[in-house]
A and B are shown apart, each in its own frame.
Chain A
Amino acid sequence: MSEIGYLRRKWFNRIMSILSSGAAGLAIMVMALILGYTIAQGIAFFNLDFLTQAAKPVGAAGGGMRNEIFGSLILIVLASGLALPVGLMAGIFLSEFAGPKMAYAVRFAADILAGVPSIVVGVFAYAILVRPMHSYSALSAGVALAIIMVPVVARTAEESLRLVPNSMREAALALGITRSRAVIGVVVPGALTGIVTGIMLAVARIAGETAPLIFTALGSQFGFQGLLKPIGALPLQIFRYAMSPYTDWRQQAWAGAFLLTLLVLGISILVRRLSNRGRS
């Protein structure tokens, strides 16, 4: 009896092991399928015109996403300019100045804010900027992306700052410098790798965000025309072209997806390198 029981347990163990590894294999396979298809399509349709030409009207051959790529860069810079000071200072507050209750509340708010669907952030930016100013604008899109960025930057900054040993802070203070100088001159440099990693992750996240741009940036066939005018963005154009019935537009959507994937995966791999080096 115990012999049979043992065999049964052994076989059950084996079956569950196979199922678990199968699950991991399936997840990786899906990843490889999506990535492989995007890269294959991208290589087929990506060319120099895609980078250097503006969009052409329906039916005209050629054309590219130059304006949208440039627009995305502007939005990333704008959002980072708004979000980095706030996110970094909030991270510093959480790790260096906050009492336990205050820290709990702010951390909670940041985590909840990070979980707000990006489409809702878009509606919010529309309500506070587009509606009162009666115009879609690069500014409103930048603010929407900044709202998405802030909690990511704040939490990763906090976590890396807290890894800096207290002895460093004490040593700095013992030299007689003020607390703010100790933070800026000693603690932040000590956590720099982690902070930069967090910033890069946040940039990777907003580079591909589309939902909050639909009714803030709107898209524009012209290049950058000022912060208070609509602006084109790469992910938005990929979406519009993908949903269009025209073959050449869909092919351009794939070329755009290829470029965006390279950017985002490039950042991911760089981040991994950075954090591995930070650990060793």
Chain B
Amino acid sequence: MVHKGRFSDEIFSNLALISALLIVGILLGFIIILNIDAMPAIRKFGAAFIGNSSWDPVKESFGALPAIYGTLLSSTIGLLIAVPVSLGSAIFLTEMAPSWMRSPTSFLIEMLAAIPSVIIGLWGLFVLVPLVRVHIESWLGDKLGFLPLFQGPPFGVGFLSAGIILAIMIIPIITAMSREAIRAVPSEQREAILALGATRWETIRQAVLPYCRSGLIGAVILGLGRALGETMAVTMVIGNNYTLTASLFSPGSTIASKIADEFNEATGEVFIGSLVELALVLFAVTLFVNVVARLLVWRMTAMKADKE
């Protein structure tokens, strides 16, 4: 009887172990499988793949540069808009809003994160893009047209729209994570500086934000990781043009949108291999970004746990 119980215990805990190892295995599987499938392109182009800016299936010449550029550009626009809005919202939700307002307000903002990417893209395509074309781009072109960033015809679809869409999608993530980080700041920290006669903003600026800096940076980097890999909404509003240009108004591509746009039509080992290599680049970049963000966020929560 005792023996039988032991035996079922063994099976159960081993099943649990196998499931946990499967998660690690899947992650390793990504690295191995993506490398194998990208091999035809890696062999043919080597490191030149990253610096080459052509994408020509007929001549079988493929390069990642415009996609990498588009990914970085749209994510940068997204972060520039999202970071101030998210940090402002998080500060408002933790330090300023009356307590009855905090929970419903954060719920509303976080619900935005639950709306599927394809729906944000649909809205972006039919509401945001016309707005950007008619109002925002022509206005920017008029006022700031001397900068190469704001030159060129207003298409609507392009880097700017993609950046705005990315901002909308990462605001709830950065807000939620920074709210957690700010909440983890012990209240003694606030009380001490308030007792010295600081205003509420001085309290936030000098006692709260410096204390949770690593958590806030982690939140922003997690948002960046999400923005880099975001696919559907960006594919729908970026215009899918493969080009290197300084103009934010120009249609372009990101790594993710290029894969989504062409994978089904791709034929031949090198073409498919190039798209898989793009996926590998995206995987490597988001892996790096997520590892950094995790370490920062974990350090923050570990600090909180130490204090308690």
A residues adjacent to B (C-beta < 8 A):
9-10, 12-13, 16-17, 19-24, 26-28, 30-31, 33-35, 37-38, 85-90, 92-94, 96-98, 102, 105-106, 108-113, 115-120, 123-124, 126-128, 131, 147, 150-151, 154, 177-181, 183-184, 204-205, 207-211, 214-215, 218, 235, 238-239, 242-243, 250, 253-254, 257, 260-261, 264-265, 267-268, 272
Known: A13-B201, A85-B19, A97-B16. A115 touches B286 (CB 8 A): yes
Q: Once the chains are docked, how many angstroms separate the CA of A253 from the CA of B122?
A: 8
Decide yes or no whether B300 CB sits under 8 A from chain A.
Answer: no
Decide yes or no whether B115 CB sits under 8 A from chain A.
Answer: yes
Partner of A20, one of B22, B88, B275: B88
CB neighbours of A183 from chain B (8 A): 12
CB neighbours of B22 from chain A (8 A): 86, 90, 150
Known: A31-B112, A37-B123, A211-B232. A106 touches B96 (CB 8 A): no
Assess whether B199 is in contact with A10, with CB atoms less than 8 Å apart: yes
Decide yes or no whether B23 CB sits under 8 A from chain A.
Answer: yes
Assess whether B24 is in contact with A105, with CB atoms less than 8 Å apart: yes
Partner of B231, one of A118, A184, A257: A118
Closest to A236 in B: B118
Whole-angstrom distance from the CB of A19 to the nearest CB of chain B?
6
Assess whether B112 is in contact with A123, with CB atoms less than 8 Å apart: no
Assess whether A119 is in contact with B259, with CB atoms less than 8 Å apart: yes
Q: Once the chains are docked, how many angstroms separate the CA of A31 from the CA of B202?
A: 30
Assess whether A31 is in contact with B111, with CB atoms less than 8 Å apart: yes
Listed from nearest, the 3 A-B pairs whose CB atoms lie closest are A208-B116, A117-B229, A23-B88
Decide yes or no whether B58 CB sits under 8 A from chain A.
Answer: no
Assess whether B287 is in contact with A112, with CB atoms less than 8 Å apart: yes
Whole-angstrom distance from the CB of A79 to the nearest CB of chain B?
14
Stretch of B25-33, B40-48, B242-250 with 4 or more beta carbons under 8 angstroms from chain A: B25-33
Assess whether A109 is in contact with B24, with CB atoms less than 8 Å apart: yes
Assess whether A151 is in contact with B15, with CB atoms less than 8 Å apart: no
CB neighbours of B105 from chain A (8 A): 24, 28
Residues B192-228 near A (CB distance < 8 A) = 199-202, 204, 222, 225-226, 228
Assess whether B16 is in contact with A92, with CB atoms less than 8 Å apart: yes
Q: How many residues of B contact A (CB 8 A)?
A: 90
Q: Once the chains are docked, how many angstroms separate the CA of A30 from the CA of B82?
A: 12
Listed by A's residue number, 30 A-B pairs whose Cβ atoms lie within 8 Å are: A12-B199, A16-B204, A19-B88, A20-B92, A21-B96, A23-B88, A24-B105, A33-B127, A34-B168, A35-B115, A38-B123, A87-B19, A90-B19, A90-B20, A93-B19, A110-B23, A118-B229, A119-B256, A119-B260, A120-B34, A123-B259, A150-B22, A150-B26, A151-B23, A208-B116, A211-B256, A214-B260, A235-B116, A250-B126, A254-B122
Q: Once the chains are docked, how many angstroms separate the CA of A205 from the CA of B13?
A: 29
Assess whether B201 is in contact with A116, with CB atoms less than 8 Å apart: no
Q: Once the chains are docked, how many angstroms separate the CA of A218 from the CA of B15?
A: 34
Assess whether A147 is in contact with B230, with CB atoms less than 8 Å apart: no
Known: A13-B202, A112-B291, A268-B111. A90 touches B119 (CB 8 A): no
CB neighbours of B95 from chain A (8 A): 20
Decide yes or no whether B117 CB sits under 8 A from chain A.
Answer: yes
CB neighbours of A113 from chain B (8 A): 23, 26-27
Closest to B266 in A: A215
CB neighbours of B172 from chain A (8 A): 27
CB neighbours of A239 from chain B (8 A): 118, 121, 232, 236
Partner of A126, one of B23, B29, B97, B263: B263
CB neighbours of A209 from chain B (8 A): 116-117
Decide yes or no whether B55 CB sits under 8 A from chain A.
Answer: no
Q: Once the chains are docked, how many angstroms separate the CA of A265 from the CA of B202?
A: 38
Q: Once the chains are docked, how many angstroms separate the CA of A118 from the CA of B226?
A: 10
Residues B272-304 near A (CB distance < 8 A) = 275-276, 279, 282-283, 286-287, 289-291, 294
Closest to A131 in B: B37
Q: Once the chains are docked, how many angstroms separate the CA of A89 from the CA of B22?
A: 11
Partner of A128, one of B33, B112, B116, B259: B33
Assess whether A98 is in contact with B20, with CB atoms less than 8 Å apart: yes
Q: Once the chains are docked, how many angstroms separate the CA of A207 from the CA of B117?
A: 11
Stretch of B2-10, B135-143, B148-156 with 4 or more beta carbons under 8 angstroms from chain A: B2-10
CB neighbours of A19 from chain B (8 A): 88
Whole-angstrom distance from the CB of A99 to the nearest CB of chain B?
11
- Kindly list 4 other residue pairs between chains A and B, CB separation below 8 angstroms, not including A27-B175, A28-B109: A92-B16, A105-B24, A109-B23, A204-B114
Residues B85-126 near A (CB distance < 8 A) = 85-89, 91-93, 95-97, 105, 107-109, 111-112, 114-123, 125-126
CB neighbours of A181 from chain B (8 A): 5
Known: A28-B105, A97-B17. A20 touches B116 (CB 8 A): no
